[in-house]
Amino acid sequence: MAFLQGLDSHIVIVGCGISGIGAAQKLLSHGFHNVRIIEATGRSGGRIRTGRLGDKIVEIGANWIHGPSQENPVFRLACQYNLLDEKSMTEENQSVDVGGHPPFVPDLFSSSGKRLSPELAGPASALFTGLLQECQEFHASGREPVPSVGEYVKREAARRTAEEWRDEPADTRALQLAMMSMLLKLECCISGTHTMDDVGLGAFGMYKTLPGLDCTFPGGYEGLIHCMMKELPKDIVSYNTPVKCIHWNDSVQRTSPSGRTFPVLVECESGETFPADHVIVTVPLGYLKKHQETLLSPPLPLSKVHSIQRMGFGTNNKIFMEFNEPFWDPDCETIFFVWEDETDLVDVVPNVEMSWIKKLFGFTVLKPTERYGHMLCGWIAGHESEYMESLPEAEVQQSITELIRRFTGNPTITPKRILRSQWYHDPYTYGSYTYVAKGCSEYDIDILAEPLPLKGSNTKPLQVLFAGEATNQSFFSTVHGALLSGWREAERLISHYSPSSYSVSLGSKL
């Protein structure tokens, strides 16, 4: 009896990204039938967003399945829907471990227009990779000699290069250090942070990689969203309906025509309201940082407010550029730009407006060429990236063209067209993805994920639940982390109402 009532409960999911869609799918498959998704924008997918440059498909948001192997639910779904290349699905590629970094067949250029040999850059990248590995190990050891990854890398690199590279010619040593500045900027893109000085050293190892050679969706990541949406009832989503305030704790009384009362009322910007027994909030951490004061009434408890403020959410943007001919080698996978003056390990520019472009560490080459033509994807993180978003596209194109001409020494290189992402200016995201900032730990992520009312309250349980990329300790910042978090909150409701848990809680009362 109680179980049947549970299946009748009204569940509202705020946000139609992959975490919200995953939660809806799981709830419906367990018999809950009053499920509604409310989405601010006119589309589903959130930060999974496929766009076009000319006739080519490009990913404005997520690009790779990180760690495509059986443990990864996004990989399993993509295989099930038949969305991947045969090559991505081989056993061999599922067992490769890349440790979360892009392929490294580099073309290196310097700011004086010279091509650098990979051998020259080898020692710097070996030292850098080693230092990052050391950073990851502080999580298990529980020690933290300095507060941030940036401070550790800078300190250790300065110390070790002074010792180990003592006998190198001064200009070689300078170039190695400049190379490491570039690698720090690359790391800012991976973490989605302004500077590695903001990323917590002890927490850096919380992020877990899965085995598998990162792969992409030949038809676009959004294909996955379309397949998942097809399995949901047609009209389950209210689009273009930004949620303004979630009134919970019976703070607004609303009775349905059938005489039922609901502890929660979801109020939208449009004035429309949705009564609910449970709400699963999946809005990005960037949105929560901006709107945490008004999104809930009564407001979020202080513990949550503090964790939302402490956790990191930064910007990483892509700039796609198409060329008539390549200026890179046929086997090149990543193009790196090394500023020769950056010998004191820096990952921020001195003046954002004047020199934001120095933050762009380089480009990945989109492969295979038969599919993309000669297309590059530039990467830029931090405040410099946020400033770039505010410039007219033509100005961005001009700046990057000048940059490429300078580094290659070829004054005729001209991109055909460009397309850039603008995640910081997206009013429903305010940035790209989560990182664990200085002073944060798994504790903060647990607090973000904690449902309301908090334990110990004697009001109706599980009124407001929290999912989304930011709420998984090991896989924050990824699509699979987001999907798992949606499933987790759906399971929380499912087990809350399941007959076995009902009898257990009844038993304990008797």
Ligand X SMILES: *[C@@H]1O[C@H](CO)[C@@H](O)[C@H](O)[C@H]1NC(C)=O
Ligand Y SMILES: Cc1cc2nc3c(=O)[nH]c(=O)nc-3n(C[C@H](O)[C@H](O)[C@H](O)COP(=O)(O)OP(=O)(O)OC[C@H]3O[C@@H](n4cnc5c(N)ncnc54)[C@H](O)[C@@H]3O)c2cc1C
Q: Applying CB under 6 A, which residues contact ligand X?
A: 87-88, 90, 92-93, 213, 249, 298, 449, 459, 472-475, 484-485, 488
Question: Residue 471 CB, nearest distance to ligand Y (Å)?
Answer: 8
**Close Cβ partners of 133 (under 8 Å, ≥ 6 residues apart):** none
Residue given tokens 């500077």 in the structure block: 195
Rounded to whole angstroms, the Cα distance separating 278 from 452 reads 10
Run of H or E including 490: helix 479-497
Residue 335 DSSP SS3: strand
> Would you say 238 or 471 has its CB closer to ligand X?
471
Task: Tell me, letter by letter, the H, E, C secondary structure of 268-324.
Answer: ECCCCEEEECEEEECCCHHHHHHHHHHHEECCCCHHHHHHHHHCEEECEEEEEEEEC
Question: Residue 322 CB, nearest distance to ligand Y (Å)?
Answer: 19
> Would you say 26 or 154 has its CB closer to ligand X?
26
Q: What angle do CA 289, 254, 239 make, to 5 degrees?
A: 50
> Would you say 2 or 454 has its CB closer to ligand X?
454
Question: Residue 160 CB, nearest distance to ligand Y (Å)?
Answer: 32
Question: Residue 449 CB, nearest distance to ligand X (Å)?
Answer: 5
Q: What angle do CA 298, 300, 304 make, to 5 degrees?
A: 165
Question: Residue 133 CB, nearest distance to ligand Y (Å)?
Answer: 21
Closest Cα to residue 482, out of 283, 221, 249, 192? 283
Rounded to whole angstroms, the Cα distance separating 22 from 345 reads 42
> Would you say 100 or 123 has its CB closer to ligand Y?
100
Residue given tokens 């070790």 in the structure block: 160
Question: Residue 149 CB, nearest distance to ligand X (Å)?
Answer: 22
Pinpoint the alpha helices (H) of 375-478: 382-390, 393-408, 442-449
> Would you say 41 or 195 has its CB closer to ligand Y?
41
Check if the beta carbon of residue 381 is closer than 8 Å to that of residue 315: yes
Strand partners for 97: 212
Residue 492 DSSP SS3: helix
> Would you say 67 or 415 has its CB closer to ligand X?
67
Q: Which does 90 bind (CB under 5 to 8 A by kind): ligand X, ligand Y, none?
A: ligand X
> Would you say 240 or 253 has its CB closer to ligand X?
253
> Would you say 183 or 264 has its CB closer to ligand X?
264
Rg of the chain, C-alpha, whole Å: 24
Check if the beta carbon of residue 217 is closer than 8 Å to that of residue 83: yes
Q: Which does 243 bind (CB under 5 to 8 A by kind): ligand Y, ligand X, none?
A: ligand Y
Q: Which does 17 bind (CB under 5 to 8 A by kind): ligand Y, ligand X, none?
A: ligand Y
Question: Residue 321 CB, nearest distance to ligand X (Å)?
Answer: 23
| 169 token code pair | 């010619």
> Would you say 14 or 366 has its CB closer to ligand Y?
14
Q: Which does 150 bind (CB under 5 to 8 A by kind): ligand Y, ligand X, none?
A: none
**Close Cβ partners of 492 (under 8 Å, ≥ 6 residues apart):** 451, 462, 465
Number of H helices, E strands in the chain: 17, 20
Check if the beta carbon of residue 336 is closer than 8 Å to that of residue 184: no
Q: Which does 449 bind (CB under 5 to 8 A by kind): ligand X, ligand Y, none?
A: ligand X
Q: Which does 62 bind (CB under 5 to 8 A by kind): ligand X, ligand Y, none?
A: ligand Y
Contact residues for ligand Y, defined by CB under 6 A: 14-20, 38-41, 46-48, 61-64, 66, 242-243, 282-284, 287, 316, 318, 421, 423, 428-429, 432-433, 468-469, 477-479, 482
Question: Residue 477 CB, nearest distance to ligand Y (Å)?
Answer: 6
Closest Cα to residue 440, out of 111, 119, 206, 94? 206
Q: Which does 193 bind (CB under 5 to 8 A by kind): ligand X, ligand Y, none?
A: none
Closest Cα to residue 281, out of 292, 272, 271? 292
Q: Which does 197 bind (CB under 5 to 8 A by kind): ligand X, ligand Y, none?
A: none
Question: Residue 240 CB, nearest distance to ligand X (Å)?
Answer: 30
What order do you get walking across the sheet with 273-276 strand by strand? Answer: 273-276, 264-268, 243-247, 296-297
Q: Which does 290 bind (CB under 5 to 8 A by kind): ligand X, ligand Y, none?
A: none
Sign, Cα dihedral of 65, 419, 362, 396: negative
> Would you say 154 or 359 has its CB closer to ligand Y?
359
> Would you say 67 or 200 has its CB closer to ligand Y?
67
Strand partners for 265: 247, 275
Question: Residue 475 CB, nearest distance to ligand Y (Å)?
Answer: 8
Question: Residue 178 CB, nearest distance to ligand Y (Å)?
Answer: 26
Burial class (CB in 10 A: 0-12, 13-18, 19+), 177: buried
Question: Residue 315 CB, nearest distance to ligand Y (Å)?
Answer: 8
> Would you say 38 or 376 has its CB closer to ligand Y?
38
